[in-house]
Every structure is written in C-alpha cells, then in structure tokens.
Amino acid sequence: MNRKNAFFQKHILNSSKLTGTPKVIASKIYESMFNFNRMRETSRQNVTKLLEHMVRKQRNFNYNYYLSKNCPMPDQWHERKDALMAKAAESPA
C-alpha cells in the first residue's frame, strides 16, 4: 500500500544496458524477442516502429500519476496498512 514505483523503474527500458537512440534500442529489443525467426520485412518494420514509439514514450511516462488515477488508494490506508502489518507479524511464517 504505497506509491513507490521502483518496480517499474527496473524495466529493461530503464536499464543501463540499453543505450543509444530509440531506433537502436528498438532493434535490440526486437532481436532479443524474435531472435532468428523469419518475418516479412513490412511486419518487421511495423514492429520496430511500434517498439521505437514505446521507447520514446516510456522515457517520460509518469507512473505515479497513472497509478493514482487508475488505482486510487483506499480511505484511511495508513490505518489499514498498520492493521495488516500487525496481523502479518502475529501469524506464523
């Protein structure tokens, strides 16, 4: 019950292994996804364009805004969190 978004920041697009322009990153992702599978050139270009768009948009995506908009915190979540933590501490692991 918190809004820390470290889970999303661990995404492969945020890793330091992928550096370069969105086109280079998209081609690396494409290669890792499809390896040596044969695909029509037009389909390959469409997938690469989609990946490039995703890379560009992901760089400035506001996770906290969309989490709070689509998954609002419940009322009195501080109290509920404390009660859940106390209950978890009492139960045997």
**Which pLDDT value is given to residue 49?**
94
Cα(19)–Cα(15) distance, integer angstroms: 8
**Which pLDDT value is given to residue 9?**
63
User: What's the token pair of residue 45?
Assistant: 């270009």
**Which pLDDT value is given to residue 31?**
85
User: What's the token pair of residue 35?
Assistant: 């390896």
Give 63's Cβ-side CA count (13 Å radius): 12
**Which pLDDT value is given to residue 3?**
61
Residue 5: pLDDT band with limits 50, 70, 90 = low
pLDDT in tens, 13-61: 666 667 778 888 888 888 888 887 788 889 889 999 999 998 888 877 7
**Which pLDDT value is given to residue 42?**
92
